[in-house]
Structure 1
Amino acid sequence: MFDLVRKLSDAFGVSGNEEEIRAVITEEIKDKVDDIYTDTLGNLIAVKKGTGRKIMLDAHMDEIGVMATFIDDNGFIRFSNLGWVYQYFALGQKVRFKNGTIGSVFYEEKLDDMKNLKLSRMYIDIGAKSREEAEKKVRIGDTACFVGDAVQTGDMIISKALDNRSGCAVLIKVIQNLPETDNELYFVFTVQEELGLRGARTAAYQIQPDIAIAIDVTDTGDTPECHPMAVKCGAGPTIKIKDSSLICHPEVKRLLEDAAKEIGIPYQYEVLESGGTDVGAIHTAVGGVPSGAVSIPCRYIHSPVETASLSDMENAVKLLVQAVK
């Protein structure tokens, strides 16, 4: 599992620029499904044909990042966020532009109080000495991801973009370990989730599934003095009850509970007080879709050092394989 997650997290895939990560995923699954295609918005959709219920399994493949908005006379680059970029997580980090250019993120020296730190008071330094030199490497509108190489420590993986390359890895493993089933399965790797669940919304309207399950990360309550939450890394994948975008359908929740009990894997319940996932858009599509979610507990979400349990991911694979039967 670690090697797959590392391969996925290394790939560039800032929201709206998912070409590289889509190609990596395609290579992993193209020989395991009956049909595979990219839709108009850029979602990667893989189909395992059947005559039973139409099930949509979803994982967004985009990651947060930044976009160059202005280059000053000295070659320093101002930027805007793509997705929720927390200024304190971004400070002092490296970013990698799509063409491979590396830059460091820092803030204006005249800032007299860190409480006033905003993305608008920050810049990217790519080592250029002038605007002309900088523009040879970076142009207005170019996007960059944060740099955070994947490392394994025991059962844990530390990396950028575990939101949601861990979910993509789970979905790939489900495809590679599919059981015999009459159900028709749609595996959807969506774009632009970080910008407002955009890819999932259009995909659901295309597919019109009978049931949908999203795979994403969720917050934890297992770090010092954190906000109380009944989710821990290493205690199993979570079955979502609610988040800001939906209350999960009771039948889908029951399906996931029964599947976990049948194979004897650990699982947790998730009540996420703020934030949402693709099912927030899917469940209101085409007259309504019974929807639920399986989440990977993840610390430090939207930072370059997101941290999650590999065993939680592996148990999520087992859970979903059992559920789609």
Structure 2
Amino acid sequence: MPLHPRSRGVPGRAGRAEDGHLDLAHARDPAKGVAVSPKPSLDSLLPALSEAYGPPGREEGIRAALRRALRGMGTVREDALGNLHLHLPGKGKRLLLTAHMDAPGLIVTRVDASGLARLTLLGPMPAADWIGAVVSLDGSARGVVGWDRPRDAKETREIEPEALYLETGLGAKQAPKKIEVGTVGALLDRAERLGDLWCGGNLDNRAGCAAVVAALSGVRGLRNDLHVVFAAQSDLGARGAGTSAFGLQPDVAVVLDVAFVGESRGTGDIALGKGPCLGLKEEGYLPHPRALDLAKRAAKAARVPHQWLIRESGGSDARAVRASRAGVPTALVAIPARKTGGPRVLVNANDLEQTVKLLRHIVTTPYTGEKGSR
């Protein structure tokens, strides 16, 4: 028996738009993934990946969407933890490029007498940010997240997860029969373009996944033996990235994630529209000098402006990758994002394009383990 659910594919076919290009085919069931065009651009890829079902430990929908996006690029496989691997063989050093594919989720703890599904959190998204969000339960039932308001209107305490509930409209009789305890829910959302910004609820880290796929689409001149991992269960403790690094034993690794405005200290806060970030410090992690040098040289060659990221708390999968086995030289690249005070976040479209350029140069820049080597 598999250790995690597997997708059974997506019904239907992609249609043709008025301009003759292949449209996206959207699955009725988000748990089964979303089809993407054969040569994905960010404009088509990001909405498709953002709406795929994929909370921690239940990434079958986003795996299916990524498999379709990666068709024809190389050998794709899935491991026991649920990570999705792409191998692009090369003669150079073994380079691991990883971005986590799971998004924050919720889990049903009980169904109360009124038919409301009581919830707790999966991942770092605060309880307050879930209020008003539309949620899909295992890709089937849907509902909207509410919370038990305090009787005292002056109450200012932080909202606790125990105060959250999901209203599905099933009622007191049907809800206990159709919603099982332990059912996992995910934000039901599709990224959309707002001028220079992308707005969506699952952009952490579907924006990173989209950037990786776009960077690899049509890439030529690989100078490393490239292993790409779309990691599972990052929000449960960087499980996918850590186990993948342990198994692959890379010579160098680059972790791609998002970083939120307000997180960086020391070098000044990050901002949207100023390019991707290179991580200098986060909880439990410092970049390896030679891995950081690889990212810096690639940014210079690509003429990509970048910012510095220093996190005093929290972090990414970089910590787990860096500490794998006897240690892996690791660099962190982060896409700047801004929270809106609700379930959706904002990413600058140009930052995303610049991240794609940076990744293309990273995978085509040889890593020899020597500072300044080419």
Change over 3 Å in CA distance of 1:119–1:92 after alignment to 2: same
Structure 2 residue corresponding to 1:165, chosen from 192, 203, 206: 206
- Confirm whether residue 126 of structure 1 aligns to residue 165 of structure 2: no
- Confirm whether residue 195 of structure 1 aligns to residue 236 of structure 2: yes
Structure 2 residue corresponding to 1:60, chosen from 100, 105, 112: 100
1:185-206 CA distance string (max 9 Å, x none): 0000000001110011110111
Query: Per-residue deviation at 1:221?
Result: 4.3
| CA–CA distance in structure 2, aligned partners of residues 133 and 202 of structure 1 | 41
Structure 1 residue aligned with 2:62: 21
| CA–CA distance in structure 2, aligned partners of residues 237 and 51 of structure 1 | 28
Query: Per-residue deviation at 1:111?
Result: 4.1
| CA–CA distance in structure 2, aligned partners of residues 192 and 110 of structure 1 | 33
Structure 2 residue corresponding to 1:51, chosen from 72, 86, 91: 91
1:13-58 CA distance string (max 9 Å, x none): 000000010010011113111x210011010000001221000000
Residue type of the partner of 2:349? Answer: L
Residue type of the partner of 1:293? Answer: L
| CA–CA distance in structure 2, aligned partners of residues 227 and 292 of structure 1 | 19
1:209-228 CA distance string (max 9 Å, x none): 00000110001249xxx999
Structure 2 residue corresponding to 1:214, chosen from 237, 255, 273: 255
Structure 1 residue aligned with 2:20: none
Change over 3 Å in CA distance of 1:70–1:145 after alignment to 2: same
| CA–CA distance in structure 2, aligned partners of residues 117 and 278 of structure 1 | 27
Structure 1, 114-123 or 3-12: larger mean CA deviation: 114-123
Structure 1 residue aligned with 2:82: 42
| CA–CA distance in structure 2, aligned partners of residues 302 and 142 of structure 1 | 26
Contact 2:131 2:342 in 1 (8 A): no
Query: Per-residue deviation at 1:65?
Result: 0.9
Change over 3 Å in CA distance of 1:50–1:317 after alignment to 2: same
Residue type of the partner of 2:128? Answer: Y
Change over 3 Å in CA distance of 1:116–1:266 after alignment to 2: closer
Query: Per-residue deviation at 1:234?
Result: 1.0
1:47-106 CA distance string (max 9 Å, x none): 001221000000000000100110112211111110123122122322221233221222
Counterpart secondary structure, 1:115: coil
Query: Per-residue deviation at 1:138?
Result: 1.9
The answer for unaligned runs of 5 or more in structure 2 is 1-41, 365-374
Q: What TM-score does the superposition give when structure 2 sets the normalisation length?
A: 0.81
| CA–CA distance in structure 2, aligned partners of residues 270 and 177 of structure 1 | 30
Counterpart secondary structure, 1:322: helix
Structure 1 residue corresponding to 2:357, chosen from 307, 311, 318: 318
Contact 2:223 2:363 in 1 (8 A): no
Structure 1 residue corresponding to 2:134, chosen from 80, 84, 94: 94
Q: Aligned runs of 1:236-251 on 2, under 5 Å?
A: 236-251=275-290
Structure 2 residue corresponding to 1:140, chosen from 162, 173, 181: 181
Change over 3 Å in CA distance of 1:228–1:259 after alignment to 2: closer
Change over 3 Å in CA distance of 1:248–1:148 after alignment to 2: same
Contact 1:148 1:304 in 2 (8 A): no
Q: % of aligned pairs identical?
A: 32
| CA–CA distance in structure 1, aligned partners of residues 159 and 297 of structure 2 | 48
Q: Which has the higher contact order (CA 8 A, sep 6+)?
A: 1
Structure 2 residue aligned with 1:264: 303
Aligned length: 320
Change over 3 Å in CA distance of 1:18–1:111 after alignment to 2: farther
| CA–CA distance in structure 2, aligned partners of residues 116 and 157 of structure 1 | 29
Residue type of the partner of 1:208? Answer: Q
Contact 2:96 2:253 in 1 (8 A): yes
Counterpart secondary structure, 2:171: coil
Query: Per-residue deviation at 1:267?
Result: 1.2
Residue type of the partner of 2:103? Answer: E
Query: Per-residue deviation at 1:271?
Result: 1.0
Structure 1 residue corresponding to 2:314, chosen from 272, 275, 288: 275
Change over 3 Å in CA distance of 1:256–1:76 after alignment to 2: same
Contact 1:64 1:302 in 2 (8 A): no
Calculate the aligned-residue CA RMSD, in Å: 2.0
Query: Per-residue deviation at 1:6?
Result: 0.7
The answer for unaligned runs of 5 or more in structure 1 is none
Contact 1:283 1:289 in 2 (8 A): yes
